Every structure is written in structure tokens, then in C-alpha cells.
A and B are shown apart, each in its own frame.
Chain A
Amino acid sequence: MKKEITVTINGTPQTLEVENRLLLVHLIRENVSLTGTHIGCDTSSCGACTVLIDGKSAKSCTVLAVQADGKEITTVEGLATAEGIHPIQEGFKENHGLHCGFCTPGMMMRIKELLEKNPNPTEEEIRWGISGNLCRCTGYNNIVKAVQYASAKMRGEELPSTEPEFVS
């Protein structure tokens, strides 16, 4: 049981014949070979597979590829431009917002929508905003700082310090 669909992935329209039961995350990773989007829990808990569908963050392990017909998908590979990495990526880089990096692509795609809706979130809003993304390395503090850095950069404000905090 197959269906022909047209999806635009990171700006490139693609027409593909897919099985009805193919999950969007598999379409992205296997049919289109964009492996930046990760499969973590496969049960819509961890957020590693988060991509944007028409600008809205979604857990792509719980969306069918056929549901994406006619939609625009943005994956982590769509963040950087010819001018360089995205402020969100820069925030993670400057603030050690990752250790192993497995959650990072999903985390960044979630943060992209968060900052579009709320360009200057409070720490609490950031923590609620990424509550659907699990990170088992960082303890989240540096991710919060990465978001604050990206938020400042995207608003053209002075960048917060990237010095690590030591807890005694």
C-alpha cells in the first residue's frame, strides 16, 4: 500500500513513493539520507527526532510520511546557511550545550520554534519549552545558556558570558 507524496525538505521539493506505514523520521533518514535527525526512544518521549513541519516542532517518529504530503520539513541540516552556522548552533558551541550530541539536533529544532514564538524567553519558559526533549549528559544548564545566547544574538543584543559556572 503505497502513495506518492511531495515534501519540501530544507527547501528542496522531493517527490517520493512511500509505504503508508513509513514514519516521517525513516523517510528523512533513509529515503532522503539526512541522518542528522536521530531516533532515540521511538515512542515520542525523548524528542531526538524533532523536526519542523510547516514551522511547527514535531516528533517525527510519531508522524507518518504520508501526513507530510504537501508540507515543508526543516531538519537540523537546514539550520546553517551559506553565511555560517545558525545562532542556535553557535549558542550550543559556545556554551558546551552538548556532550555526546545525540539529543542536540532535536533540541535545536525545538528551540528554533520556541525562539520564533518567544524571542526573549525567561529561564522558566526555556525549561518548559524544552520539556519534551531529554538530554542525559548536560543536566540542561548549558542548554538553557545556549538558548539565552541564541536569543540575545538573534535579537542583536549583547551576548551573555560563556564562562562556565562552577558549583562549589
Chain B
Amino acid sequence: MIPEHFGYSAPSSISEALSLLKEHGEDAKILAGGHSLLPMMKLRFASPSHLVDINNIPGLSYIKEEDGRLKIGAMTREVDLEESDVISTRYPIFTDASKLIADPQVRNFGTVGGNIAHGDAANDHPAVMIALRAEVEIAGENGSRTVPIDDFFYGFYMTAVQQGEILTEISIPSLGERAGSAYHKAERKVGDYATAGVAVVIEVDAEGSCTKAGIGLTNVNPTPMRAARSEEVLVGSKLTSEDIEKAAEYAAADCSPSPDLRGDEEYKRHLVNVITKRMINKAIQRAS
């Protein structure tokens, strides 16, 4: 399978990339890791007339904590998250997720920014970013703007990144000392999309009451979803098993899974319930 003909540029700066996107208009696409885009182009589901390859732009790959935030460059590869000490000690939710994304070869290429900008509710980082209350930095002709993750996903393959713009950074409020995070997805085999996935972030105070909760769901809704009612149940609670049970029930009830080869609706809701409980417990365990 070979893609249709297209033009190709590999700019070496963001500003050059932005002017190329402007020049080539609506049919131009950004090529990041390419492991979602190229398969679509080979199947002719996508036929951009021009590819702007941003792999040669320096300074877009980093993981750093600064100004009370964890900042991840858009071109940071999944493998970099998997191998980062800052991530595995302070933000294990990413280590959980990146191990379950595709396979080692694909993780050598796939980028965090691409995973989000693709706008697919089946991807794993969207739910993780929802749980972490991330903000997305988007560069455009008139400078940069910041979009909260809750306003980022518009619909299937549609996000706040508009024509002529480039997602450059994801930034996350640093997790406190008493915070824990966890992610898991049920998948049929390595490399499959989630049958259902749940990302959980929990912060507790010295008395063990929950001060913050973030819960994101993968592939059980048309867009990546925040389990808002579940979060509300947890915040201010003592995180008793009844509270956790209730949060899991709400997540399973509030999502909107479609039946497909991975399972019917009832099965997927059941998975959301079970995984939500497990991930809340894992996050609590990691918080202490």
C-alpha cells in the first residue's frame, strides 16, 4: 500500500513550519511520529496534498518540571516518557500508559503531541491529560495560545488545533507530595486500542481526605471524557470503599460506549466500573 502523491517539506523552525502550513492551506498536514497518519494515508483514508514534517525542528522534545508545572514538548516520543526518571517517580500514570501504547517500535516514533492532536478518543494520552488537568500550548501565525484540555477535543479527529497551527507543548500542574496517579486499559492484545481505559489522579491531605480528583476515560465516548460526577463524589470524601464504588458506578453510567468487535455496551460499562475502582485504589496507594 502506497499513499497518494504529496509534497513534502522538513522545516527547521516553528516559524518556517507555520508559513509552510499557511502556504499549502487546508490540504497540508503535520507529520510528527507518523504512526497514525501514514497508515491512514496508505489506506487512502487521508490524502493530504502536502506534508510538513516537524521532526527536524529542534527544541520540541523535552520533559521538565518548572514554575510548578510539568512541561512535555509535543515531539517527546513515547519511549522518552517510558524511560524518564522524573516520569516514573513522580508521574507514574504516564509510565502506565506509555507501556500500553502500541509496541516498542511504534513508541520509538509516536509522540505525545501527536497522540493528542490526532483527536481520537481511542488514544490513551487524552484521558491521562484530562485526569491531570493539562493545558495545551498551540502556536499559530499570531503567537501562542493556551487551551485547557477540557476545551481541546471537539469531536472525532477534531481538536482545538486549527488549520495553520501547531501543538507545541503540554503542561500539567505539578502533582503534590500526597498525590498518586494511575492508568490502565483493557486491550485484546498488544498494540490494540483500548476496549476501555481509565486514568485516575488523586490527591489527599494529611488526614486522608481527598483534596483533588481527576478521572479520564479512554474509548468509551465519542470524545475523550472526564468522569465529572465520579470526581465530585471523591473530592472531600475519606475515600471509603463506598465512595470508590459510587465513583466507579457513575463513570460506568455516564460514559457512552459503542458496541464493536471489542465488546458490547454492557461489557464496556462493566470494564469502566472495574478499572475505575482499581485505578482509584492504585492512585491512593501511590499517594501514600
Cβ of A21: which chain B residues have Cβ within 8 Å of it? 2-6
- Rank and list the top 7 A-B pairs by shortest CB-CB distance, nearest first: A132-B103, A20-B8, A131-B190, A56-B108, A132-B105, A21-B3, A59-B105
Query: Do the beta carbons of B34 and A59 come within 8 Å of each other?
Result: no
Asked whether any CB of chain B lies closer than 8 Å to the CB of A142, the reply is: no
Cβ of A114: which chain B residues have Cβ within 8 Å of it? 104
Instruction: List the interface of chain B (C-beta within 8 A of A).
Output: 1-8, 10, 31, 34-35, 38-39, 42, 51, 53, 55, 79, 99, 102-106, 108-109, 190-191
Query: Do the beta carbons of A42 and B1 come within 8 Å of each other?
Result: yes
Q: From residue 31 to 80 of chain A, which have CB atoms closer than 8 A to chain B? A: 42-45, 47, 50, 56-59, 62-64, 66-67, 69
Say which residue of B2, B4, B53, B105 sits within 8 Å of A58 (CB atoms).
B105
Query: Do the beta carbons of B6 and A132 come within 8 Å of each other?
Result: no
A158 to B106, CA, bound (A): 34
- Bin the interface of chain A by size: 20 to 34
Q: Nearest B residue to A130 by beta-carbon distance?
A: B104
Q: Could you write out 22 A-B pairs with CB less than 8 Å apart?
A: A1-B7, A19-B5, A20-B7, A20-B51, A21-B6, A43-B42, A44-B39, A44-B106, A47-B105, A57-B104, A58-B105, A59-B35, A64-B34, A66-B8, A67-B10, A69-B10, A110-B104, A114-B104, A131-B104, A131-B190, A131-B191, A132-B104
Q: Nearest B residue to A131 by beta-carbon distance?
A: B190
A59 to B35, CA, bound (A): 9
Q: Could you tell me the distance in whole angstroms from the C-beta of A49 to the nearest C-beta in chain B?
A: 9
Cβ of A136: which chain B residues have Cβ within 8 Å of it? none
Say whether, besides A42-B42, A45-B191, A132-B190, A20 and B6 are in contact (CB < 8 Å): yes
A128 to B82, CA, bound (A): 13
Known: A21-B2, A56-B79, A66-B53. 6 other contacts (CB 8 A): A20-B5, A58-B109, A59-B105, A62-B38, A131-B191, A132-B191
Cβ of B7: which chain A residues have Cβ within 8 Å of it? 1, 20
Cβ of A3: which chain B residues have Cβ within 8 Å of it? 8
Q: Nearest B residue to A127 by beta-carbon distance?
A: B190
Query: Do the beta carbons of A67 and B34 come within 8 Å of each other?
Result: yes
Q: Nearest B residue to A132 by beta-carbon distance?
A: B103
A159 to B236, CA, bound (A): 58
A47 to B35, CA, bound (A): 13
Cβ of A58: which chain B residues have Cβ within 8 Å of it? 105, 108-109
Asked whether any CB of chain B lies closer than 8 Å to the CB of A27, the reply is: no
Cβ of A1: which chain B residues have Cβ within 8 Å of it? 5-8
Say whether, besides A21-B5, A42-B1, A132 and B106 are in contact (CB < 8 Å): yes
Asked whether any CB of chain B lies closer than 8 Å to the CB of A23, the reply is: yes
Q: From residue 1 to 36 of chain A, which have CB atoms closer than 8 A to chain B? A: 1, 3, 19-23, 26
Q: Could you tell me the distance in whole angstroms from the C-beta of B100 to the nearest C-beta in chain A?
A: 11
Q: Could you tell me the distance in whole angstroms from the C-beta of A9 to the nearest C-beta in chain B?
A: 18
Cβ of B38: which chain A residues have Cβ within 8 Å of it? 62-64
Cβ of A47: which chain B residues have Cβ within 8 Å of it? 103, 105
Query: Do the beta carbons of A110 and B6 come within 8 Å of each other?
Result: no
Q: Could you tell me the distance in whole angstroms from the C-beta of A63 to the nearest C-beta in chain B?
A: 7
Query: Do the beta carbons of A57 and B8 come within 8 Å of each other?
Result: no
